[in-house]
Every structure is written in structure tokens, then in C-alpha cells.
Amino acid sequence: MARVVLSVSEWGWEGAMLDLRVEKIGDLAVVECEGRIVRSEAAFQLRKAVTALRNARIIVLDLSEVRAIEGGGLGMLLFLQRWAYDRDIQFKLFNPTTSVRDRLALIWPFVQTKARGSYL
């Protein structure tokens, strides 16, 4: 089992931050997110972490500890879903909090629902 732990911090105006931890087991990669995805830097760090997993067959984005997500983060999730689809990688969102799920509901109708990995 290969375990890669990545920790990225982004401090916002309220002192909140985003931490990312990546664990890769075989063809499965889990990206654990904690904090807020509300600024561009956080979204870009998320992109960097996920796109580095190009050899994974399944990428799970664990959103259970994300307290808030705004426009840049939502746009990045759409980008990452398409990026994964184009590489035949399953991209899954796991256990988003209620506030994140409410924000996702605003954009998810615009995602091609037949695209693999586009479901919550």
C-alpha cells in the first residue's frame, strides 16, 4: 500500500484554511479535504492534487469536512469531473456536508448526467 500525504493550507479572510490529504491504494486515490474551498488558491491546489493522480482509475474526493464552497471551487469540481472523464477515470464526490451539497445542487444539473463519475 502506497500512502502519499499532502497537506496544503490556504488562509482566508476569516483565518480558515483548506487542508488536503491524499492516500493512494492501488488504482484508488482518496483526496480528503478539510476546511473551505472559497478562494482561487484553494481551488488551484485542489486541481494540482487531483491532476497529479493521473495513474489512478478511481479518484474519490472526500468532502465530509468541507464547511463551505464557493464559485471557484464549484467551477474546479466541474473541471476535475471533465478532466477525469477525458482520461477514463471515475471521479466521485463522497459525503458532502449539507452546505456543500446545497451549493452542488446549483451546478450539478449542468453536468452531463450520463458522464461517468458525475453523480453525487
What residues contact 98, with CB distance under 8 A and at least 6 apart? none
Q: How confident is the model at residue 115 (pLDDT cuts 50, 70, 90)?
A: very low
Q: Is residue 9 assigned to a domain?
A: no
For the cut 50, the answer to whether the pLDDT of residue 14 exceeds it is no
Q: How confident is the model at residue 9 (pLDDT cuts 50, 70, 90)?
A: low
Q: How confident is the model at residue 7 (pLDDT cuts 50, 70, 90)?
A: low
Instruction: Provide the CATH number for the domain around residue 91.
Output: 3.30.750.24
Q: Is residue 12 assigned to a domain?
A: no
pLDDT digits over 65-105, tens only?
A: 999 999 999 999 999 999 999 999 999 999 999 999 999 88
Q: Is residue 80 assigned to a domain?
A: yes
Q: Is residue 118 assigned to a domain?
A: no
pTM of the model: 0.79
Q: Is residue 2 assigned to a domain?
A: no
Residue 73 belongs to domain spanning: 18-110
Mean pLDDT on 20-30: 95
In angstroms, rounded to a whole number, what is the distance separating the alpha carbons of residues 22 and 60? Answer: 10
Which residues on neighbouring strands pair with residue 93, listed in sequence order?
A: 61
In angstroms, rounded to a whole number, what is the distance separating the alpha carbons of residues 23 and 3? Answer: 5
Domain count, the chain: 1
β 18-25/28-37 pair status: antiparallel
Q: Is residue 98 assigned to a domain?
A: yes
Q: Is residue 71 assigned to a domain?
A: yes
Mean pLDDT on 53-72: 95
